[in-house]
Amino acid sequence: MTPSTVTALLSFEDYVAYDDGTENRYELVDGGLVEMSPPIMEHFLIAKFLEQALDIEIKRLQRPWLCFRESGVRTGLRKSRITDVSVVTLDQAQELKGRSVVFATSPLLAVEVVSPDSITRDYRYKRTEYAALEIPEYWIVDPLESKVTVLTFNEGLYDETVFLGDQPLVSLTFPELSLTVEQILAAGNLA
């Protein structure tokens, strides 16, 4: 008879407090820990560019918002995802003083940068979970397909608009933002 291993499901609270002594990053999916691969350089540079661009726009608009890279967001009873970039209110951030940066409430905007190992997760699973959480706006930046998909929450589902090339993004959260798909994707180049 083969020995079996029983792994207990983690609660959201267990997940937030979890520390295995490593630098590994995990998402909580149906009570289980799923280790996230470190981002590739292009992915990292695009996320950094977007964080900086959104920080500038938040400051220009004088909004009480903050932009974070790689923060968590609770998406269900035993689910939590790590966003590449998110925008939250100052009040949401203040609720987490002295705690892990995993938001239990919906950010204003979530951004995911697609990598070869995250295609299904970003387009399907996160889209469904973010809609259930009613995140008002979700961007999927896809360097593999050279496009940015902007999803806006509307009556329980996301309306989808795909932007290509030199098209400027249209954002409800940042209506005056001036960014094109080319600018965003070019941020992934080291040249």
Helix (H, G, I), strand (E, B) or coil at 24: coil
Instruction: Check pLDDT > 90 for residue 171.
Output: yes
* Number of Cβ within a 10 Å radius of residue 107: 27
Q: What angle do CA 69, 63, 68 make, to 5 degrees?
A: 5
Kindly tell me the number of DSSP H helices and DSSP E strands found in the chain: 6, 11
* 44-66 pLDDT tens trace: 999 999 999 999 999 999 999 99
The CATH T-level fold of domain 40-186 is tt1808, chain A (3.90.1570)
Separation of alpha carbons 77 and 66, rounded Å: 25
- Listed by start position, the domains of the chain span 40-186
pTM score: 0.89
Instruction: Check pLDDT > 60 for residue 6.
Output: no
What is the rounded average pLDDT for all residues in the chain? Answer: 91
pLDDT of residue 35: 84
Instruction: Check pLDDT > 90 for residue 163.
Output: yes
Alpha carbon dihedral 43, 16, 103, 106, in 10-degree steps, equals: 90
